[in-house]
Amino acid sequence: MLESERLGLSADVFVANSAWREIIEFLSARPDDRSVLEYKLSNAVQERIEDLLYLGNAGTQTAEERGELEGYIQAIQFFDLLKARLRARQA
């Protein structure tokens, strides 16, 4: 079983989502804890998330866009959990 499947994440999410690509690129550089805690997704990704949220609130979001947003949410949740673990370890 792939690690992504064990975590309940589709492998497609990792490939199709620019947030995952950014996160993987960032983590593959082996950043120190402080850099991880300060990490933010690019402005382009943040703007895309805002666009998708707007479409959802307006009721015009397609199923594909909902799936895209869910992938971004999973990426954000993963990174939030990673940051929480680092903070707990530092405490």
Token representation of residue 54: 């707007």
Phi, psi of 32 (to 5 degrees): -75, 170
Per-domain boundaries in the chain: 3-90
Nearest to 40 by CA among 1, 88, 2, 83: 83
CA dist., res. 37 & res. 19, Å (int): 16
How confident is the prediction along the chain (91 residues), in pLDDT tens digits per residue? 445 555 555 555 555 688 988 999 999 999 999 999 999 999 999 999 999 999 999 999 999 999 899 999 999 999 999 999 999 999 8
